[in-house]
Amino acid sequence: MNMNFEYQISDKVTLQWVLDKMPQFLFPDLSKKKDRIQKVMTGVVATLNKKPVGLLLSTDDDTGNNYRIHSFLVHPEFRNKGLGNALVEQLEDYLVKKGTAQLDLYYRSHWKSGSFLEQILKRRGWDDPKEDLIIVRGDAAKVNILFMHDRLVLPDEYAIERFRDISANDRDYIKKKKSNENWYLDYLDPFVQENTICESASLVLRKNGRIMGWVISHLIAPDLNEVTALFIDAGNRPYKLAHLLMREAITRQQAAGITRFLITSKTDNYVMSRFLLRHAKETEVFLTRSLYSRKSLI
C-alpha cells in the first residue's frame, strides 16, 4: 500500500464535532470532559486516501503563548510508520509560525502507548517527562471501611458542611487569606471549575465557625467522582482532620449513589493517597501516575 499520508490543520475544531464525527480517534476519552473543555481546539488530522488514520487535538491557554495536547491517536493499522511523529511535527510547525512559545502534554503511566509516546517526544527534542500527579482510583464502599468510624470522632469545636453552602463572607475570607498569607498552594484552590463540583462530596471544615479546610471533588461520570483538592490549615493538622474530612466526603458520596472515586494529588503532597495505598490489597485501589513533558518552540 502506498502510504501517502496527508495532513490537515484547523484551529476551529470543537470537541463536540470530534465526538460526533471521529469518536474512535480520541485517546484518552475526552467525552468525560466535554463540560470542562468548551473552547475551540487546534487539531491535526492525518488521512490516507481521504480516510482519517490519525488525530491530534490541542488547546491554548487563552494567551496563544502555550498550547497543550489533550488527545493523540493513530489507527492501529498505521502505527510504527512514522505517523505519530509526523502529527506532532505538523502541530509544532504550525504553532511556531503562530509565534507560540511552548507546547506540553500530560499522560498516564499505565497507558500501553506510553513508551511509544516517550519515543516520539525524545525524537522531537521534548524535555524528559517528570512525574506530576499520583492518581488513586477505588470503590467508595470498599474504602469507607478503613476510616475508623467507631474510633475517630470530630472534636466538638469543629463542624463539616457543604462547600456549596458557604457565604460570600466565607469566600472573601478564603481569598483574602490566600492573598495575604499564601494560605494554601495554588493547586488546592477550592474555586476552580465550580460548575462541575460534586455538591454532595465537596465539603468545608470549620473551627468555631471559621473555615479551616476543605475537600473539593468533581463529578466526571455519573458513578465517578474525582477529588481534586484536600486542604487543612497548618495549625489544625495534628488531629487527623484530613482523615475525618475525607471520610465524610466518601460517606456522602456513597450515600448519593456515586460508587467510584479518584483522588488526584501532587507528587509532593499525597497524604491521603499514601494512606489508601497502604491498604491497596484489601481495598483493591488502583494506582497510576501522571507524567508531564514540554517543548520550547522559541
Rounded Cα distance between 210 and 230, Å, is 17
Tell me the torsion sign for CA atoms 121, 18, 264, 151.
negative
Q: Give the model's pLDDT for residue 134.
A: 82
**DSSP-derived pairing of the beta strands 224-232 and 260-266:** parallel
pLDDT tens digits for range 195-248: 889 999 999 999 999 999 999 999 988 899 998 899 999 988 766 888 899 889
The CATH code that applies to domain 6-126 is 3.40.630.30
Name the band, by pLDDT with cuts 50, 70 and 90, for residue 127.
very high
- Check residues 240 and 76 and name the one with the higher pLDDT: 76
pLDDT tens digits for range 10-52: 999 999 999 999 999 999 988 877 666 778 999 999 999 999 9
Give the closest residue to 77 by CA, choosing from 30, 24, 119, 123.
24
The amino acid at residue 271 is V
Q: Give the model's pLDDT for residue 1.
A: 45
Give the domain ranges of the chain.
6-126, 137-292
pTM: 0.70
**Same CATH topology for 6-126 and 137-292?**
yes
Q: Any residues with CB less than 8 A from the CB of 269 and at least 6 apart, and which?
A: 185
Q: What is the dihedral of CA 216, 219, 220, 221, to 10 degrees?
A: 150
Cβ-contact 270, 287 below 8 angstroms: no
State the cell numbers at 254: 456513597
β-strand partners of 69: 58, 105
- Whether the predicted pLDDT of 280 surpasses 90: no
Architecture of domain 137-292: 3-Layer(aba) Sandwich (3.40)
Cβ-contact 243, 275 below 8 angstroms: yes
Name the band, by pLDDT with cuts 50, 70 and 90, for residue 145.
confident
